[in-house]
Amino acid sequence: MADIEKLEKRLKKLEAELVEEKRTNKLLKKRALQAIVGTRSAHLCEIDRQKCEAGLVRAELSSRVKSVFLENVSHEIRSSMSGIVGMTDLVLQTELSSAQRRYLEMVGSSVDRLLVVINEILDFSRIETGEIEFEAEDFDLKQSLDHDLYVMRQAALDKGLELSCTVAPDVPTHVHGDGGRLLQIVTNIVNNGIKFTEKGNIAITIENDGYDSDNNLKLKFSVQDTGCGIIEEKVEQINYYFKQELKPHIPIPLSIGTTGLGLTVTSQLVKLMGGEIGVESDTSGTRFWFVLPYTEVADFAALEEKAAETVANIKEEATYALRGVKVLLAEDEYINRVLIETVLLQLGVEVFSVASGEEAVEEGCGGKHALILMDIQMDGVDGLEATRRIRSYEKKHGGHIPIVALTAHAMAGDRGKCLQAGMDDYLAKPVARKELLTVLKDHLTSRALVVDSDIESQNIFVKGLVESGWQVTIAETKRSAMYEATLTHFDLIILDTSSSQIQGLEAVKTIRQLELYTGQRAKILSLGEAGERVLGIENEFDGAIIRPATREKLMVHL
C-alpha cells in the first residue's frame, strides 16, 4: 500500500514537471522568434496587414471603375450600333437590287459579330465584379435551341458546312434552369467551331448524364467539329484552365489567340452554374463538352398549356389598339430618334419627339401623352432625373403616365435603377421592333380582371372585352382576384357579388388599399342579381351590372 502511495506522489510530481517544461518551452520559442524577426515584428505585421487591406480596397475600387468605364463605353457603342441596325433594317424593307441587299446583309452580320464581342467583354466584367445574373425558369430545351440553331445553321451553310443537333431519347423535353445562359454557352462554342472548320460538319449532341448528389439531372452537351484541330500543348493548356477552381471576382482570362475571351466567359459561366467543361482534339477535329445540372419539370401539362397560351397571344397581337395613341419620345441621338419615330409611325402611333430631359419633363407634365419612351443618358437632365421630376409633379397633381427606359446600358442593376427612379419598364438598345410593340401593348392596352363564377356570363364578358382590344385575366375566386391585383394594375375589375358579399367587399377593400401605394385606381363593377344591394357600394364600387349579363350592359361601362 505504501509503495502505491509513493508511486502516485511520484506520478503527480512528474505531471507537474511536465507542465512546467511545456511552459518553459513555449517561453523559449517566443524568445527565439523575437530574436529572429526582431522585437518590432508585431508592429511590422500590423503595418503589413494595413497595407494588404488598403491594397484590397484599391483593387475593388479599380474593378468598379473599370466596370463603370465599360458601362459607359457600352452605352456609346450600342447607341451608334442601334442606329446602324435600325436603319439597315428599314432600308432592307425597301426595294433594292440583289447586290445592295447582299451588302446591307453583310453590314448586319458585321454588327451582330460586334455585338457578340461587346457582350463577352461585359460578361467578363460582370463576372469580375460578382454581378453576373442567372434567371432560372422552366423552359423547353429543344424549342429554346431551335431559333439560335437556325441562325447558326445559316452561318455554317455560308461556309459550306453542315450543322446538326441530336438529342438523346432519355433527355426530358422541359427542364428548370437558365435557358438564356445555356444558349450563350452553346452559341459561343458552335461559332468557334464554325470559325475554325473549313469543310465537313459541326455536330451537337445532348445526353442524359445521370444525377448528382443533390438529385439534379445532369445534361451533357458536346460540340464536335471536323476542323484542323488544336495542337496538343494548347489542349492541355485549355483543359488545365477549365479545371481551375472558380475564384469569385478573379476571372483570369484564357490566352489562346482570338478565341480566348469567348472561352473564358464560357468556362466561367459553366462553373458558376455548377457544371464542368473540357476539350478533346486531334487532326480529325475538336470536341468541346460541358455538363450542367438542371431540375426536372414534373407538370408537363401546365407547361404545354402555358406555351399554347403564349402562341395564341402572339397570334392575337392587335396593333390596331395602338393607332392614334400619343407617345412622347425623349432621345438626344438624332439617328436613334428617327429610327424609333419610324417604327412608331409604322404602328400607327402619334409620336412627339424631344431631345433633352428638360423638354421631356415639360411635355410629360402636360398631360397630352399616353406614354413616354425615355432615353437614360441625355446631356443636362438625364432620363432618371427627368422621371423623378415627372413623378414628383404627379404626386402633387395626380395621374400616372407610363415611362419606359431606353438605354444602351447592359450592366447588372440597371433595370433596378430605372424602376427605383419611377420608371415602369425597360428596353435595351438596339431596340427591337417586337420588344417595342410588346411594351407598348403592355402599357397602352387596357387590362381587365373578370371574377365571375357563372361560365356563360364569364364568356360574354371575356369575348366582349377582347374584341374591344382589352387584355383579360380571369380569376376563379375573390381571393385569387386579390392576388392578381397585387401583381398587375387593372383598369377594370368585374366582381361577382351574388354570393358571399362579405368576401367581395373584403377583396375590394384590399384592392383599394393597394391603390393607395400605386396611385392608380381601377374601375370596379359589382355583378349581381336584380334588387340585390351590394354592401359598401357607395364607397368602394364604381358601378354595377345586373344579371343576366349582356354585351350591351358591359359596353355602357367601357
Provide the 10 A C-beta neighbour count for residue 121.
16
287 closest CA partner among 238, 240, 253: 238
23 beta partners? none
Cα(303)–Cα(318) distance, rounded to whole angstroms? 25
What architecture is domain 447-555? Answer: 3-Layer(aba) Sandwich (3.40)
Q: Average pLDDT, whole number, for the chain?
A: 77
486 and 520 in contact (C-beta within 8 Å)?
no
C-alpha cell at 433: 421592333
Angle between helical axes of 501-518 and 478-487 (0-180°, round to 10): 10
406 closest CA partner among 344, 342, 330: 330
278 closest CA partner among 231, 228, 242: 242
Q: Which CATH number fits the domain 137-299, given the four candidates 3.30.565.10, 1.10.10.10, 3.40.50.10420, 3.40.50.10680?
A: 3.30.565.10
Report the largest interatomic distance among the alpha carbons of the chain, rounded to a whole angstrom: 120
pLDDT of residue 123: 66
50-129 and 319-444: same fold? Answer: no
Provide the 10 A C-beta neighbour count for residue 364.
26
Residues in the chain, pLDDT under 50: 249-251, 255-259, 303, 307, 310-318, 412, 535-537
Provide the 10 A C-beta neighbour count for residue 500.
14
276 beta partners? 291
282 closest CA partner among 223, 227, 221: 227
First to last CA, the chain: 110
pLDDT of residue 314: 39
Going by their DSSP bridges, the two strands 137-140 and 350-354 should be labelled as unpaired
What φ, ψ does residue 292 adopt, rounded to 5°?
-130, 140
If DSSP states are collapsed to H, E and C, what string results for 210-257?
Answer: EECCCCCEEEEEEEEECCCCCCHHHHHHHHHHHHCCCCCCCCCCCCEC
Place of cell 401583381: 487
543 closest CA partner among 473, 489, 494: 494
C-alpha cell at 98: 440583289
pLDDT of residue 391: 92
Place of cell 375573390: 478
Cα(300)–Cα(294) distance, rounded to whole angstroms? 16
Query: Which fold would CATH assign to domain 319-444?
Result: Rossmann fold (3.40.50)
0.85 exceeded by pTM: no
**CA 499, 505, 511, 516: dihedral to nearest 10 degrees?**
170
Residue type at 188 in one-letter notation: N
476 and 327 in contact (C-beta within 8 Å)?
no
The full set of domain ranges for the chain reads 50-129, 137-299, 319-444, 447-555
Burial (0-12, 13-18, 19+ Cβ within 10 Å), 355:
middle
The string of DSSP letters for 361-426 reads: HHHHTTT--SEEEEES--SSS-HHHHHHHHHHHHHHH-----EEEEE---STTHHHHHHHTT-SEE
If DSSP states are collapsed to H, E and C, what string results for 507-542?
Answer: HHHHHHHHHHHHCCCCEEEEEECCCCCCCCHHHHCC
280 beta partners? 287
pLDDT of residue 531: 60
Cα(206)–Cα(192) distance, rounded to whole angstroms? 18
193 and 175 in contact (C-beta within 8 Å)?
no
pLDDT of residue 196: 86
262 and 192 in contact (C-beta within 8 Å)?
yes
Q: What is the CATH code for 50-129?
A: 1.10.287.130
